[in-house]
Structure 1
């Protein structure tokens, strides 16, 4: 299947940098009209200016912020054909992380997707066509050592994307879940020595994530795996769970040796 995005209305949250900026550029190069959403209005404006798109500054996590973004996008695009739920945060920490940190990451990494879908689905189902792309992370298929909240919320984001596809596929909804491991963005840099130990050797560039997404779109494939080896890890997790957990714990001990924690 070869998808054409010429003239399509596309929204990318977290589009001011990293994977989001690259997705915005790629969709624009494919002929789409792109709205770049980001909490950092200046960053969104720079990307939008570069691609001839429209910037919308705001918080894609809050209910009001999502509603405002989608309203502004509809005013600009008329129809939203593709929504890239890409904004995400990855604070480090375990069960001792403060309640407010857990609440914030839940809003950004999961509820932003739910709130967007709530507003997007009625017109999509009415016309029998819509495309929801969720930037999840391999953490949603596996786990994320060093950040309990990131692991939990990325599992939630994947589960919601799966639910959308299972529930509305026959009504014209296309859903894709992008699940890379390390990507050379500010998020990886912020994980410090532990992140470099776990993901540095296999880290890829955001452009490779976009390539994998468009390959998956052409193949009509739900899971987007910029790191193909993640499929094997995912299978091992399901079929050899205790062995897989033992291997992850071994990695955890290496992380503790590197960080001294």
Structure 2
């Protein structure tokens, strides 16, 4: 896979994984358009990498349409789209309806809306590459956050459907599924931070490296934490045993000591 001169769009590129991916794509010679709700941060990234910033909400129908059109005008064509923006809202059954809806909009519908615009163009032009930043939570589960776990499962499911439906027609799809990564989201994870960092919290640049490696053989699952492959296989083959282990971890989180209270 050679991205030199190719048009690349990265959402959620103001910080963390998105910023690292934008830097890596630019270093490999791509022409990069970056998007984020944080206009100041994404403008700084664009200036650093010699790219173009399009601040805004890429989850909404109008926002993603504006991003794709601006990027197409700037780049000539969008060859690679990183649907990277994501949010972690709510916790359990008491999560408000509005937070469930927002999580679904950003973590799922943002991907659907972007693909709806891009895939028809790629089918006409000979192909493109769509990259979903999901999470290991989308392959396993995420204790402590029902909306995040559910919507990241949906993100992986959509990526799988997209690959199965259009992969033979030139649309290459990847799903990035890391565990703990040193981002603002991890820092805000509270008692879950240690659990997410169990197999070592990676730097965002290590995730970008894993993405680049997956590009070389068109690998669907991008697993920056290789341990996730074993967990995923165990979950599928021994579901009840897997759930028993997850309940054991949940009991640990339920104790006061797990929250630093004693």
Superposition TM-score tier, normalisation by shorter sequence: over 0.9
Tell whether 2:157 aligns with 1:159: yes
Residue 41 of structure 2, aligned match among 43, 61, 78: 43
Equivalent position of 1:239 in the other structure: 237
The Cα of 1:180 is off from its aligned counterpart by 0.2
Counterpart secondary structure, 1:255: helix
Corresponding position: 1:10 with 2:3: no
Q: Is the 8 A contact 2:90 2:100 kept in 1?
A: no
Counterpart of 1:196 in structure 2 is 193
Q: Give the whole-Å Cα distance in 2 for the aligned partners of 1:251 and 1:188.
A: 18
Instruction: State the TM-score, normalized to the length of structure 1.
Output: 0.97
For residue 29 of structure 1, the aligned residue among 13, 27, 32 is 27
How many Å separate the matches in 1 of 2:121 and 2:63?
20
The answer (yes or no) to whether the contact 1:212–1:225 under 8 Å persists in 2 is: yes
Question: 1:29-108 maps to which residues of 2 (within 5 A)?
Answer: 29-108=27-106
Q: Does 1:259 align with 2:256?
A: no
How do residues 97-246 of structure 1 correspond to structure 2 at under 5 angstroms? 97-192=95-190, 194-201=191-198, 202-246=200-244
CA–CA separation in structure 1 for the residues paired with 2:150 and 2:27? 34
RMSD: 1.1
Report if aligned partners of 1:18, 1:206 keep a CA contact under 8 Å in 2. yes
Note the residue ranges of structure 1 that are not aligned, 5 or more in a row: none
Large movers: runs of 4+ above 4 Å: none
Task: Name the SS for the 1:175 alignment partner.
Answer: strand
Distance 2:102 2:235 in 1: 28
Mapped partners of 2:74, 2:217: distance in 1: 30
